Structure formats: structure tokens, C-alpha cells
Homo-oligomer: A and B are copies of this chain.
Amino acid sequence: MAERIPVAVIGAAGFGGALGAMLVDRHPSLDLTAVTARSDAGARHDVLYPRYGVGLTMEEFDPDRIAEQAQAALVAYPHKAAAPAVAALRERGLKVVDLSADFRLDRERYERWYQPHEAPELIGEAVYGLPEAHRDEIRRADLVAGPGCNSTAALLALLPLKELATDVVVDIKTGVSGAGREATAETHYVSATENVNPYKTEGHRHSAELEQELGGGVRITFVAHLVPMDQGLLASCYVTTEPHLSREEARALFERAYADEPFVDLIDSPPHTADVRASNRCRVYVTATADRVLAFAAIDNLWKGAAGQAVQDLNLMLGLPETEGLT
């Protein structure tokens, strides 16, 4: 049996990082050698997340120690905090998948939507980690930026229409885990149950990813909604194309695009997020009305929308089978 590749997960106490730790831990070709946390350092991972069964104690982040222990790292810090950690690990030669927004956008876009960039010199080498769009670049990359969960679903619903779309309305429905582990008024059970609400109606940062990936010619309206579920995300995309496509024409484009994709299922009826829960799959459905193409994509926001896709990226970067550890 081949040596397993040592991997660290930085920021393993949050929902995305915790799942990433579990996925690396159970991965046949990877060896989870270290997990770190900021406020939860010192705690065993499986006390916080018993069902993930990761028996390591979370450490403070020390890039030198991580460099001794690991050849690759999955960084699951919030944006802004992520960039310096990524830079420190890249300096020490580790391959990195970063789950934050810090390396998803070109500098101009990033600084417009977020803040001054903490490690702008690395932006050039970062690859946007959506394998369905950038597989070959990811294979060659040392730094991959994991796409946002909303963007992942929206792009998988939209990419086959990229050349023809002129106008897109993206209406996202996301589960509460997407809001992160922090206990807030919004994530309180009593607020979130029996409720749906739109948020960030005046512009969501994830729309910047869509603009960048779809190219300049398409007008994008993007609104996210919080729905009472734990994990799961649905992107409903209402697309004007030039020329207008019939249902069959639209479907043919999707069939071509996704014929060989290991994690995208083109299905014959509207997707249910429950059908992709705790899996790295994306279920996509496309149809058309007299006016528009309608495309829907369902993912688990923590899996294909975050940690699962990060491991898919890691597999590509490390020359492993793309689906390994994810099925």
C-alpha cells in the first residue's frame, strides 16, 4: 500500500473545517496529521463533533509545526484571517486549498467586495476551485480557492449556458449551517425554524464570483434566502439566453457539459436538497418556458459547497483519483 499523504486542516472547529477534517481522516490516501482551531484550541475534535470521529486535539496554528507534519493543508478560516495563514503555509511549500473568499477573486473585485487584501502576491497563483470549470488548472495548482457554496450551485446550474446567457436571476435557498457555527440571533433555533427570509438583498459577495466566472456579458441579479434546514442549498436560476432555447436545446447543452462529470447528476425532475444531503453530488435540472431557461442545482452546502469540493480539489492537486474519499 502506498504511503498516505500527510494533510493538516487549519480551522477545524467551524462547520466547513470540521467536515474537512473528517473527510481527510477517512480518506484512503490521505493522513490527517494535524487540526488547528482558534478559540477551541486544546479541545479534542470529537468532543465538539462526535459524529465525525476525529480523535485529534486541535492545536494553535503554528505554520512551522504544520510544515513539519503535512505536505498539504485545507484552510477553513473566515476571509481576511485566511490570507496570512495561507501565505505562511505556501511559503513553507505546502499545497493549499483555501475555503475562504480570499483567493477566489481578482484583486480589484476582492477589494471592492471585501477589504484590502492581506496577501495580494498570491492571488495570481490561485485557481478557482470548481473542477467542472477549471479541472486542469487545479491539477497543476499549488493554491486553490474553494468556491462559495452559493456560487458552486449557481455556477453548476449556469455554466452550460455561459456562452448564451444575457441575463440571470439567481435565487438561492440555503440551510442554516451556511451561516456558520457562531451562535447569533439569526441562527437561534427559535428564529430559524418555521421561517424563510431573504438576506443581503442589496448585493451578496458571492455574486462577484458569478460575474468573474460567467464573464462580463451577463447581467446578474442574486439574492440568498435562509430556510429552516441544517445542510442543503438550492440555486434556482432564471436565465435569458440569446437566442432563446427550447427545453430540449437547453437539456442538450447540459448533457454535453455534464456527461463525464463524476459529481454532477443531470436529472429529469426538479432536484431536492435532501437527495444530496451528506454527499458531494450536485443534482441539476434544466427546463424552459416560452421566455426563459430555468436551471436548478441542489448541493449540500458543507460538502460540494465547501469541504467536499475542497477534498475533490485536493485529490486533483495531489494526483489522486478525483472521487477518492468522497463516495
A residues bordering B, Cβ < 8 Å? 15, 50-51, 167, 169, 171, 173, 175-177, 181, 183-185, 187-199, 201-203, 219, 221, 223, 225, 227-232, 234, 236, 238, 265, 267, 270-279, 283, 285, 287, 289, 291-292, 294, 296, 298
Contact = CB atoms under 8 A, between A and B. Distances in A.
A290 to B, nearest CB: 9
28 contacts: A50-B265, A51-B274, A51-B277, A173-B173, A173-B225, A181-B190, A183-B184, A183-B185, A188-B188, A188-B189, A189-B230, A190-B230, A193-B193, A193-B194, A193-B229, A193-B230, A193-B274, A194-B229, A194-B230, A194-B273, A194-B274, A196-B232, A198-B285, A201-B294, A202-B287, A221-B291, A223-B236, A238-B238
Contacts of A193: 176, 189, 193-194, 228-230, 274
Contacts of A292: 169, 221
Contacts of A283: 50
Nearest to A175: B194
B190 A221 contact: no
A181 B173 contact: no
A195 B272 contact: yes
Contacts of A234: 196-198, 225
A223 B292 CA distance: 12
Work out how many copies of this chain go into the complex.
Answer: 4
B289 A203 contact: yes
Contacts of A296: 198, 201
A195 B274 contact: yes
A149 B225 CA distance: 19
